[in-house]
Amino acid sequence: MTRRQILQLGGASAAAQTLPQTKPNIIVLFADDMGYGDLSCYGHPNIQTPNLDRLASEGIRFTSGYAAASVCTPSRVGLLTGRYAKRAGLPTNLGPESIGGLPLSEITIAQQMKSQGYKTAAIGKWHIGHSPKEYLPTSRGFDQYLGLLYSNDMIPPWVKTERPLHLWRNNDAIEPVTDQSQLTERYTDEAVNFIRKSAGNPFFLYLPYAMPHLPVSAPPSRRGRSRAGLYGDTIETLDWSAGQILGELKTRGIDNNTLVVFCSDNGPWHDLPPRMLAQGVEPWHTGSKSLFRGAKGTTYEGGHRVPFLARWPGTIPAGRTSSEMVSTLDFFPTFSAAAGARVPTDRLYDGYNLLPTLKGQAPSPRDNYKYFLGKDLQGIRQGPWKYRQAGENPPELFHLDFDPAEQYNVLDRNPAIAQSLASRLAEDRVNI
C-alpha cells in the first residue's frame, strides 16, 4: 500500500501509525559533577545503580570516555556543538548576571536534529547563555525547555548574586526554586511526557540533570536508602530516573529504535572552596574519581574522564566494555550520522562519528584528546600517551595504559615522544 493510499484510508494519523519510523530516537542523560567511580558498574561499593548498570550490560561501557571539558559551561558547549569550547567561543563558565553565551552562529545538535524532522526537548540545566532570550534553548533548536538556566549553587550563600533561582519553561520563569530535592523527579516526569507525546515521530531528548552538583539533594521518599549517605541517595535517584525513561521506551514499543547515552559533564568537585561549606554542604557530598588523579577544574584524568554508557538494542552489541577513546565531542557527528544529517562543512569539528564503533564494526576513530582549562590548553593525549604542561609547572608525560592514575612521570625515559607531543600541543594552542 502506498503512502497516498494510507492517507486516503485513514488520514495522517493512520499513516503515522502504519509507516515505520526509520530514524532512531536519541536520548542523552547528562549528570553534573558525577565522578568516574560513582556507579556500581564502575566499581562503587555502596551506591546501587541497577538501571544504569543495565545500560552497560545491554550496551557498551567505555573506560576511556571523556567530557569535552572539566567544568560546566565549556563541557556543555562541546557536547552540543562537537567543538572544543575555545573554538566555539565560550570557554569559561557563565553566571547569573552573564550576558550573551554560546555564539548564535554556532550550530547545536538540536538544530541538526530538527533539520531531519525530529522533535526536540531540553530538560534540566542549560548554562550556555540565558540573556538576552536569543540564547535560551528554544532559540537554539529545542522545541521545548524546562529547567534551570545555570548551576543549582548560583544563589546565596554559595554565590553572591541578587537573582533568585527560578525554574524556567520555554522562555519564561515559572516559579522560584526553594526546594531542590524535587528537581530530578520533576525533570523525569517531563521527559516521560515528552516521550509519550512524541510517539510515531523521531525525537531528540537532552536531559542534563542538576545533580549531583552541590548542594546535593534527594526527594524525601528516596532519602536514607544508600549506604553512601546523601550523595548516594542523590545518585540512586538519578538511577531511578534512568529506569523510568527506559521503562517508558519499552512501554511505547520504541526500545529497539532508541539510542540512549549516559555520561557526566566532568569529574567530581573535590577540594571545595570554603564558600561551598554552608547550609549543610559537606566535603564528602562529592563523588568518587576512582583511581584517577585530579578532579573537576583540573586537566588530570579525574577532571575529564567520566562514566560513559551507550545502549541501542539490536544495533549496539550487548555486554561490551571498551577501552577505546571516546568523548562527548563525538555526539554531534554521531547523532548526525544516525539521523541522516550531514555535518556542516563551513567550520572545523573536533568530534568523530562513533556509529561504527558502537555497532562493533570498527575501533574508535578518535586517537587524540585535548585537555582544556578555560582558554588554556594544558595537555594532549595521543593513543596511550598523555603530555601535560600546565603553567610554570614542569612538563609531564604519562602512559595511561600502564599508569591511568598518572603517578609516574616518564618524560625523561621517552624524550622523543615528549618532544613530539610538546610540538603538537604548541601548534594546537595557536590554532584552536
Cα gap 346→352, rounded to integer Å = 16
- Three-state DSSP state, 396: strand
| Residue 116 grid cell | 531531519
Minimal CA–CA distance to 296: which of 67, 81, 51?
67
For 189, list phi and psi in degrees, rounded to 5: -60, -40
CB distance 154 to 96 below 8 Å: yes
Output the CA torsion sign for 359, 363, 365, 371.
positive
| Residue numbers annotated as active site | 72, 127
- Three-state DSSP state, 158: coil
Cα gap 165→162, rounded to integer Å = 10
The structure's pTM equals: 0.94
What domains does the chain contain, in order, with CATH numbers?
18-366 (3.40.720.10), 375-431 (3.30.1120.10)
91 preceded by a cis bond (ω within 30 of 0): no
pLDDT in tens, the chain (432 residues): 333 333 333 333 333 333 457 899 999 999 999 999 999 999 999 999 999 999 999 999 999 999 999 999 999 999 999 999 999 999 999 999 999 999 999 999 999 999 999 999 999 999 999 999 999 999 999 999 999 999 999 999 999 999 999 999 999 999 999 999 999 999 999 999 999 999 789 999 999 999 999 999 999 999 999 999 999 999 999 999 999 999 999 999 999 999 999 999 999 999 999 999 999 999 999 999 999 999 999 999 999 999 999 999 999 999 999 999 999 999 999 999 999 999 999 999 999 999 999 999 999 999 999 999 999 999 999 999 999 999 999 999 999 999 999 999 999 999 999 999 999 999 999 999
Cα gap 70→264, rounded to integer Å = 10
Q: How far is CA 412 from CA 3, 408, 409, in A?
A: 68, 11, 8
Cα gap 301→33, rounded to integer Å = 14
Cα gap 238→26, rounded to integer Å = 18
